[in-house]
Chains A and B, each alone.
Chain A
Amino acid sequence: MTPGIRQVKVKSPVMKRNDEAADRNRALFRKSNLLCVNIMSSPGAGKTTLLERLAEKLGPRLAVIEGDVQTRRDAERIEKAGAFAYQIETGGSCHLDAEGISTALAEMAPFKDSWEFLVIENVGNLICPGGFYLGEYLTAGMLSLPEGDDKVMKYPGLFSKIDLFILNKMDLLKHLRFDPDRAEEECRSINPRVSTLRVSAETSEGMDHLVAFLEKERKSMIEGAL
């Protein structure tokens, strides 16, 4: 007997299982009135320093999930700055996925009543993290001035989908040939609804605007849910 050959039409989205876990995470955030932000950038752009400043301003209102390939260093920095931190060590993976976040959330339970904001600091990488929805309400992409003002179009997958575009290390502007208008204009050209902020986590310049932005977004999230 000759063996049979069969063709099967599947049409199955590869991200389905991840996205279902992300939706469960999102439901949990909504139930807890927790504004969740997934922040992504290249390594060294200043994500952890930005979150240290945020921890100093928000204290017990902020919880952070840190994603790194290795070490608890970032979580320790956030704790020292005054906020709760949970470290995920991916062990080699270049991104966080929704199931990893679900596991972290289960270990973080019960959530503290004081938590209003949860920031997930993704693994430093401008490519892979952009493909994985984690259940966040807001997606932030950060670019720091030393990286160059031409980077948006080099990594369109990420910059075309973010809700907030942060330019960091603005204190270095006078030393660098970086045109902030160009970077923001390129981001807006493929992502017309993106909000933009210019900050220096080092000097705290612009940090109050970031806090105000997060407060406003949390308010509209809660009002939108009613």
Chain B
Amino acid sequence: MHELSLATEIMRIAADEIPEKWELKGLSITVGGLSCVSPDSLVFCLRSLAGDGVEVKVRRTPAVLQCLECGNEFETTDLYEPCSCGSLKRQVKSGREITVDNLEMKEIE
């Protein structure tokens, strides 16, 4: 359950962005397919910390592998999927990222 640690850090990042007399209304986050983050758990933790009034969107992107035999780069959710050339020698190009993409904030009346 390291999603709670991540959610706490996300709330800290959001707090740094929000000026006085404004409040958080929405968060959009990207988690890579190899980041070991469960989007549902992250949404649950963020809702608990931010409150129900905040809309939380978590997008999971597939991992990108590169074949070491032919150089082909391909997206996959199944990491044991061979390259189209048949090779199983692949290296991870991306998929570990966890980023806060956008914030939506509202002026407090």
Question: Is A12 a contact of B99 with CB atoms below 8 Å?
Answer: yes
Any chain A CB within 8 A of the CB of B59?
A: no
In the complex, the answer to whether B91 meets A191 with C-beta atoms within 8 Å is yes
CB of B1 within 8 A of CB of A94, answer yes
With contacts A3-B108, A157-B34, A157-B36 known, is A190 near B90, CB below 8 A? yes
- In whole angstroms, what is the CA distance A193 to B37 when docked? 25
Q: Is B65's CB under 8 angstroms from A190's CB?
A: yes
Judge whether A6 and B104 touch: CB under 8 Å: yes
B88 to A, closest residue via Cβ? A189
Contacts of B6 in A (CB 8 A): 14
**Do A160 and B104 touch (CB < 8 A)?**
no
B36, B65, B99, B107: the one contacting A14 at CB < 8 Å is: B99
Further 14 A-B residue pairs, CB within 8 A, beyond A6-B104, A13-B99: A5-B107, A7-B102, A10-B102, A17-B9, A17-B12, A95-B5, A128-B2, A131-B2, A157-B36, A160-B79, A161-B96, A186-B80, A192-B68, A192-B91
* A interface residues with partner B (beta carbon < 8 Å): 1, 3-15, 17-18, 93-95, 97, 127-128, 130-132, 153, 156-158, 160-161, 186, 188-193
Q: Is the interface of B mostly helix, strand, loop or mixed?
A: mixed
CB of A189 within 8 A of CB of B106, answer no
Given A97-B5, A157-B34, verify A10-B100 contact (CB < 8 Å): yes
Contact of B107 among A3, A15, A127, A193 (CB under 8 A): A3
Are A8 and B36 in contact (CB-based, < 8 A)? no
Task: Kindly state the separation between the CA atoms of A188 and B10 in the bound complex, as whole angstroms.
Answer: 34
Query: Which residues 51-95 of B have a CB within 8 angstroms of A?
Result: 65, 68, 79-80, 88-92
Question: Which residue of chain A is the closest to B42 with respect to CB atoms?
Answer: A14
List the B residue with the shortest CB-CB distance to A129: B2
Nearest chain B CB to A139 CB, angstrom units: 13
